[in-house]
Amino acid sequence: MSKDPWLKITLVNEGINGDILSAWLNIYEVDSLQFLEDRIDIYIQTHQKEDVIDVLTNKIGIASDKIHTEAFKNQNWNAVWESNFQAVQIDSLYLRAKFHQPAPKDCEEIIILPKMAFGTGHHDTTYLMMAQINKMDLANKDILDYGCGTGILSILPLKRECKSLLAIDIQPEAVENTIEHFEANQCPSELYKVEMGDLDLVEGIDFNIILANINRHVLIQNASRLFDLTRKDGIVLCSGILKEDRTLMVETFSTAGFEISDIQSKGEWLLIILKKT
């Protein structure tokens, strides 16, 4: 175990975008990140402090008075992480790590690899997306997971016999983590592809369902492209959107040609369901 002391960084969670935060921290190999009710806890080694604080203040835009640091003694962080990591139930879905007890008999189980708490069902955006996916007819559908992250959103379609699934992300760590999740859940490999890149990878292809739990800037920039990639009567699920951006996002998607089918919320976050008619 490294002798480098550990630091706990606590952020006051006032609408911090978990997608962006996780992506930046992945770059610096920060793999202990917990989203809690009113705060976010980050565990780092002391030598990472300067880079991580720079990301938090200059890249994410978090005010310095919302960032608190505390020194910790070295300990078995895998054990600490596992002891604090809780299984998540989302309606009839039960998301658990391998070290948890099996799901209750009336629940469908999904195995998660808790390298970070974002993309495991603990964050409101993931919860909203998973709850809606659970309600959908996924069989024989061609599906795109745009900005797949951990790949957790794609596991259920693969378990429910979708026709094909393409998961894409610009981060190599996300591609690796997605494949690991698919393998851990014994998803049929002939049904999916996982590739690194953006929407240029799917130029000229269309889908029945698109899953896009990203952030508003990416969604705004690519709203028209998402419309073109969606088949007639197809559905796009969009999250990573704050409540305060509701009007902006509705206008953006409507201008792109989508019908706003439904809007759901949890905490400070929205799920916007789009339909191409």
Q: What are the pLDDT digits (tens) for 96-130?
A: 887 778 888 888 898 887 664 445 556 788 889 99
Domains and CATH numbers, the chain: 6-82 (3.30.70.260), 119-275 (3.40.50.150)
Sign of CA dihedral 27, 30, 36, 39: negative
**Among candidates 237, 274, 22, which has minimal Cα distance to 131?**
237
Instruction: Give the integer Cα–Cα distance in Å for 70 and 93.
Output: 36
Secondary structure (DSSP) of the chain: ---S-EEEEEEE-SS--HHHHHHHHHHTT---EEE-SSEEEEEEEGGGHHHHHHIIIIIS---GGGEEEEEE----HHHHHHHH---EEETTEEEE-TTSPPPPTTSEEEE---SSSTTTT-SHHHHHHHHHHHHS--TT-EEEEET-TTSHHHHHHHHTT-SEEEEEES-HHHHHHHHHHHHHTT--GGGEEEEES-GGGGTT--EEEEEEES-HHHHHHHHHHHHHHEEEEEEEEEEEEEGGGHHHHHHHHHHHT-EEEEEEEETTEEEEEEE--
CB 123 within 8 A of CB 95: no
Q: Between residues 59 and 131, which one has the greater pLDDT?
A: 131
Q: Between residues 16 and 31, which one has the greater pLDDT?
A: 16
Q: What is the pLDDT of residues 184-240, one digit of tens each?
A: 999 999 999 999 999 999 989 999 999 999 888 889 999 999 999 999 999 999 998
Q: What is the pTM of this model?
A: 0.73
Q: What is the pLDDT of residues 257-267, one digit of tens each?
A: 999 999 999 98
Q: What is the pLDDT of residues 42-97, one digit of tens each?
A: 888 788 888 899 989 988 889 989 999 988 665 554 555 555 567 888 888 888 88
